[in-house]
Amino acid sequence: MSTIIIILSLLIVFIFFLYKNKAFYLMKKNVKEKEKIEDSLKYLYDCEYNQRPCTIKSLSKKLSISFIETTQLINKLVELGLVTEKSDELFLTAEGRQNALQIIRIHRLLEKYFAENTSIVESRWHKLAEIKEHQLNVEEANQIASNLGNPLIDPHGDPIPSVDGTILLENTIKLTELNEGLTAEIIHIEDEPEEIFSLINSLKLYPGMQLKVKSIDKENVLIEIEGRIISLKKDVADNINVKEIKNEILIKNFNRTLSSLKAGESAIVVGLSKALRGQQRRRLLDLGIVPGTKIKAVLESIGKDPVAYEVRGTLIALRKNQSDYIFIQ
Amino acid sequence: MQEKIIEKCANCPAHNLNHLIRLGIDMTDYDYVIALAGNPNTGKSTVFNNLTGLKQHTGNWPGKTVSRAEGGFIYANKRFKVVDLPGTYSLLSTSTDEEIARDFILFGQPDVTVIVVDSTRLERNLNLVLQVLEITDRAVLCLNLIDEAERHQIQIDDKLLSKKLGIPVIPAAAREKKGMKELLQSIFEVATGQYICKPYRISNDFKELTFAVDELEAQIKKCFPNLNNARWIAFRLLEGDQKIIDAVRSGEIGKIKLQEEILE
Amino acid sequence: MEKELKQRELLLEVANKLRWKIGENVHDLILESIYKHAEEIASAVTKRKVGVQKFDFDSFIDRIVTNKWTGFPIMFLLLAIVFWLTIVGANYPSSALSFLLVDTIHPLLRKVAEYFYFPWWLKGILIDGAYLSMAWVISVMLPPMAIFFPLFTFLEDFGYLPRVAFNMDAIYKKVGAHGKQALTMSMGFGCNAAGVIAARIIDSPRERLIAIITNNFSLCNGRWPTQILISTIFIGSLVPSYLAGLISAGVVVGVAILGVLFSLIVSWFLSRTLLKGEPSAFSLELPPYRPPKILQILYTSLIDRTLLVLWRAVVFAFPAGAVIWLVANVNINNLSIAEHFIRWINPSAVFIGLNGVIILAYIIAIPANEIVIPTILMLTVLTTKLTGFGAGAGVMFELENISDIEYLLKAGGWTTLTGINLMLFSLLHNPCSTTIFTIYKETKSFKWTAIATFLPIVLGILVCFLVTRLWYILF
């Protein structure tokens, strides 16, 4: 009796999955084509932006599909009026560019969303956005944008195109092009290749941070950033774009961290690192931890982490991974 | 409508003037809407309970009030509806609580916003007070837990504070039911326009922002000449606040001001 | 009209251009400036009396309760006092309530039903099933909660609980959770549903979900009596009688601590798999100590917590009681549904060191852990056909005398291994229906509710299986 029930229920589950899979397969085929179109537009925009030529060959390599399939895809794109072909080279039409910018907008908004509102680890933002960008429509993207307060820049420092497709382009230089002794702000961190990007992430380098080049030689760049001295290989440093800070008043004095404050000592906050972002940053600001605030370490917990600080008359406990990024003097 | 209420109240057991009748959740036919704002853990819910006779959960733990509570009372023959907003540190961030509080004060147009602060931590609480004063013209400050401040050897010059902020300031100890009468009287005076607030507005010292704010403020004034918190709107636009952007686009921002003038 | 519209659009365009010019630091700058003004105003109007610095009560207490040497002992002592008061204090009102609802009103209702010539099945479903299970839930559940929650709320209102979170945070940080989870966990010792609601104090969604899912590992009030009973019968009897009380109590505490360990391990596991991510915003405000208001505490803890939870439990207990009566009384081929099921499941149940009665009891007693033992006793009588116990098929009962229970259970084929496994399974099984419903209300997600429900069962089956295998190897 019992065996019959088990076998029957297994059968039902099996049939259910079979049925579901088939529907799923049919759906996937359409989705795949949309994804390919969007990915090619993005690639074409990338080529245009970096002033590189784009051919069917390079596109087929980028999308890892066969030459014939790529040709069919391009034919379709030309038919849709998104792409033109001129002596083997591919170009975006005005409409194609608009479409590409919309996808880029969704991608960058998603990354911003992951950074601000979720606890997804940094190295996964880009990949997740690559998948999700094909699933969102423009209205959904606008909803995300308005919930985030219409952000201008994504967490890698790239400008987010606006709804009407305008995009601000800033002139930056590579970190390796900066001379010794100069101070600069990180503007952009390239999110590909992934290994280098996650290395930069693990070093906690973010757009908006100020750095000073200590020395530079053939292989390495030695930088001072928020009181830390970091040596970067040249190929890593090449993925970081910066902008020199010429006005000395704007150079921040981020040397001593709040975590170095011992119980009973007081100090003045000079600023919050850009490593603190999203809800975390807003909460700290709301609690009154802003430049100029008097802060006193009052209580250490048993394991010395967290520590309770007196800020504007309130005792607030912070973990070390927050007080490491609050700077004092 | 006013006659009707007076008529109704003549039959009430206690119809003498200046007598508080707690109405609990009965909020029909109210004359004025009061919003209660404040940081978490300042005794805001206790003030709410004292006014309405309701028993909302309070606790010595930040963020206790989870949903918006409403109640009512009659004072001086006027019916008041009280809306207890979620306790927040600020009105600028994007958390749901702060949005509820901000939207109610801006778009809900309460007749009076009562800001409950913890006297022992005035400086921190003033952050929210200043933000509320940027948005609304009619507010009363309730200096709650004044007994505790005394215990901690803190003295607050409430007259000076009132002069500086341009709104009535009432020292109170809601847990001991102290200062509630004065608070009610102030709410009444501000609601009926007997007391005219001159709220403190943060002046133009945003170093790197001043040029942008000035430019935008001029533009806003051109579109909405009646608006008296144009500078605040400018800040919100610069922060990319979608609600404000939509309200500007639809022109709703301008209507807010108009309604107030009709009432006055 | 048209012109105004255009003007407004122009305004927004200007705003957008300016935003690009000034960058993304607007929020930081605005707050910095507001706080500067706040500081100016505050310092102008505030005067601190100097001179004789009065003794600073707050920082004195803080130094003691967060001290390296005294912090944890004080915390455990306070928790122990709360539990002791709850368990000891609940005995008397519980038996009074049980005397009233079960021993007095229940027979009365039966008589009334007989007087009105109720058909036997209607009487069974309504009075022996639904009413009795509801009466049971109220009499066993109400007193401990009515004692535990006011005590807990007292500590909360005084301001002590945030200090507990402060002390415990280091441990919770290691497993990827929030220090405040220590509080929701302690709350869970009273009632898991209340613990789940209490998780609202954790403001980051990831950590809050972890706290909700792992709350069930706190041994709740409804499970303490089961633990104490089984431990007395099966563990206490293994040691000399003068040690029995101490050892069996120790074992129960051990099970509770095991629950804490499981909650930490599962938190760690969740924060590395399903709820992967970096620890998000952490800021814990340590409010000043305030003298608690006793009346208000009683009101809020009784109305907001006790009655809310009790009401949900009663709502679920009512239909479940009817089901319990039905499965024991509806016969197919001369055998009740309950017996059919027990026979069918028994081989698999024995395989993991339990038995069919226990499994069925946990399935049908899902509304409240409090009715598990009465259901087990009833089902044991049903399957063993012993006479002289209880009031008929499908009627739950409790026995005054522990040795009677022991006799009954051993007649049902129970061994020490069954006892140990029941204690483990009582710790590691699905939350009661009240808690499941509360989890759904708090998370608004079927997925997380399902995970919170099934994860403990899987763990429970696994642990019971391993213990059983180990037992057979050793003995």
What span, in angstroms and rounded, lies between the C-alpha atoms of C265 and C431? 18
**pLDDT (tens digit, 9 = 90+) per residue, A101-122?**
888 889 989 988 888 877 777 7
Question: Which stretches of A217-312 are assigned E, i.e. beta strand?
Answer: 220-225, 228-233, 240-244, 256-257, 266-272, 294-300, 307-311
State the pLDDT at residue A20.
53
State the pLDDT at residue C55.
62
Task: Write the residue in A119, A272, A285 that is nearest to C280 by C-beta.
Answer: A119
Domain B2-192, CATH homologous superfamily name and number:
P-loop containing nucleotide triphosphate hydrolases (3.40.50.300)
Alpha carbon separation from B254 to B133, B232, B244 (Å, rounded): 18, 14, 11
The answer to whether C44 faces chain B, any CB pair under 8 Å, is: yes
State the pLDDT at residue C54.
55
State both tokens at A52.
Answer: 């590189």
The answer to whether B177 faces chain C, any CB pair under 8 Å, is: no
What span, in angstroms and rounded, lies between the C-alpha atoms of C283 and C160? 17
The three-class DSSP label of residue B249 is helix
State both tokens at C469.
Answer: 């295998």
Cβ atoms B36, B24 nearer than 8 A: no
Task: Inform me whether the pLDDT recorded for B10 exceeds 60.
Answer: no
**Which subunits sit against C, judged by 3+ Cβ pairs under 8 A?**
A, B
Residue A248 vs residue C155, higher pLDDT: C155
DSSP string, C155-203: HHHHT-HHHHHHHHHHHHHHTT--TTHHHHHHHHHH-HHHHHHHGGG--
Indicate the pairing of strand B139-144 with strand B154-156: unpaired
State both tokens at C345.
Answer: 């499941």
Predicted confidence band of residue B264 (pLDDT cuts 50, 70, 90)? very low
Selection from A26-30, B5-9, B98-102, C62-66 with the highest mean pLDDT = C62-66
The answer to whether A299 faces chain C, any CB pair under 8 Å, is: yes
| Chain C residues 150-209 within an 8 A CB cutoff of chain B | 153, 156-159, 161-162, 200-201, 203
User: What is the mean predicted confidence (pLDDT) over C37-41?
Assistant: 90
**Nearest residue to A37 via CA among A93, A85, A96:** A96
Residue B210 vs residue C449, higher pLDDT: C449
User: What is the mean predicted confidence (pLDDT) over C160-178?
Assistant: 89
Predicted confidence band of residue A5 (pLDDT cuts 50, 70, 90)? low
Task: Write the residue in C35, C59, C280 that is nearest to A280 by C-beta.
Answer: C280
Cβ of B124 within 8 Å of Cβ of A312? The answer is yes
Task: Inform me whether the pLDDT recorded for C391 exceeds 80.
Answer: no
Cβ of C285 within 8 Å of Cβ of A301? The answer is no
**Domains, chain A:** 24-92 (1.10.10.10), 173-250 (2.30.30.90), 256-328 (2.30.30.90)
Task: Inform me whether the pLDDT recorded for A204 exceeds 80.
Answer: yes
Question: Quick check: ipTM above 0.85?
Answer: no
Task: Inform me whether the pLDDT recorded for C448 exceeds 70.
Answer: yes
State the pLDDT at residue A26.
53
- For residue C387, the tally of other CB atoms under 10 A from its CB is 7
**pLDDT (tens digit, 9 = 90+) per residue, A246-259?**
887 778 888 889 99
Q: At what angle do helices B252-263 and B96-107 cross, to 10 degrees?
A: 50
Tell me what the pLDDT averaged over chain B comes to: 78
Cβ of A151 within 8 Å of Cβ of B120? The answer is no
Task: Inform me whether the pLDDT recorded for B66 exceeds 50.
Answer: no
State the pLDDT at residue B26.
62
Contacts of C283 in chain A (CB under 8 A): 283-284, 287, 316-318, 322
Centroid of chain to Cα C311: 15
**Residue listed under structure tokens 């500086």:** B164
Contacts of A312 in chain C (CB under 8 A): 35, 39
Task: Write the residue in A168, A282, A293 that is nearest to C35 by C-beta.
Answer: A293
Cβ atoms C47, B152 nearer than 8 A: no
What span, in angstroms and rounded, lies between the C-alpha atoms of C135 and C126? 12
DSSP state of B87: P
Indicate the pairing of strand A173-174 with strand A183-189: unpaired
Tell me what the pLDDT averaged over chain C comes to: 86
Q: What is the CA radius of gyration of chain C?
A: 27
Give how far A224 is from chain B: nearest CA, Å: 26
> Is the sign of the CA dihedral C36, C40, C45, C48 positive or negative?
positive
The answer to whether A279 faces chain C, any CB pair under 8 Å, is: yes
Contacts of A312 in chain B (CB under 8 A): 121, 123-124
Give how far B232 is from chain C: nearest CA, Å: 11
The answer to whether C277 faces chain A, any CB pair under 8 Å, is: yes
Count the helices and strands in chain B (H runs, E runs). 11, 8
Predicted confidence band of residue B62 (pLDDT cuts 50, 70, 90)? very low
**pLDDT (tens digit, 9 = 90+) per residue, A306-315?**
899 999 888 8
DSSP state of C301: I
Cβ atoms A107, A137 nearer than 8 A: no
The three-class DSSP label of residue C280 is coil
**Sequence spans of domains, chain B:** 2-192, 210-263
**pLDDT (tens digit, 9 = 90+) per residue, C116-143?**
888 888 888 888 888 888 888 888 888 8
The DSSP bridge partners found for residue C285 are A316
State the pLDDT at residue A68.
86
Task: Write the residue in C10, C30, C41 that is nearest to B92 by C-beta.
Answer: C30
The answer to whether A317 faces chain C, any CB pair under 8 Å, is: yes
Residue C248 vs residue C281, higher pLDDT: C248
Predicted confidence band of residue B11 (pLDDT cuts 50, 70, 90)? very low
Contacts of B60 in chain C (CB under 8 A): 156-159, 287, 290, 292
State the pLDDT at residue C457.
93
Task: Inform me whether the pLDDT recorded for B86 exceeds 70.
Answer: yes
Written as one letter, the residue type at C158 is F
Predicted confidence band of residue B16 (pLDDT cuts 50, 70, 90)? very low
The DSSP bridge partners found for residue B71 are B82
Task: Inform me whether the pLDDT recorded for B259 exceeds 70.
Answer: no
**Sequence spans of domains, chain C:** 71-278+306-474
State the pLDDT at residue A296.
92
**Residue listed under structure tokens 């019916």:** B79
State both tokens at C433.
Answer: 């229906």
Cβ of C27 within 8 Å of Cβ of B55? The answer is no
The strand order across the sheet containing B32-38 reads B21-24, B69-75, B78-84, B32-38, B112-118, B139-144, B169-171
- In a mutational test of the B interface, the residue from C25, C31, C34 whose CB has the highest number of chain B CBs within 10 Å is C34
Cβ of B61 within 8 Å of Cβ of C201? The answer is yes
**pLDDT (tens digit, 9 = 90+) per residue, B146-174?**
988 888 888 899 999 999 999 999 999 98
Contacts of A272 in chain C (CB under 8 A): 28
State both tokens at A139.
Answer: 């209205």
The three-class DSSP label of residue A294 is strand
Q: How many CB pairs under 8 A join B and C?
A: 153
What percentage of chain B has pLDDT greater than the value 70? 77
The answer to whether A248 faces chain B, any CB pair under 8 Å, is: no
Task: Write the residue in C15, C158, C290 that is nearest to B216 by C-beta.
Answer: C15
Cβ atoms A9, A70 nearer than 8 A: no
The answer to whether A149 faces chain B, any CB pair under 8 Å, is: yes
**Which subunits sit against B, judged by 3+ Cβ pairs under 8 A?**
A, C
Task: Inform me whether the pLDDT recorded for A138 exceeds 70.
Answer: yes
State both tokens at A181.
Answer: 């002794």
Task: Inform me whether the pLDDT recorded for C264 exceeds 90.
Answer: yes
Task: Inform me whether the pLDDT recorded for A16 exceeds 70.
Answer: no
What percentage of chain A has pLDDT greater than the value 90? 6
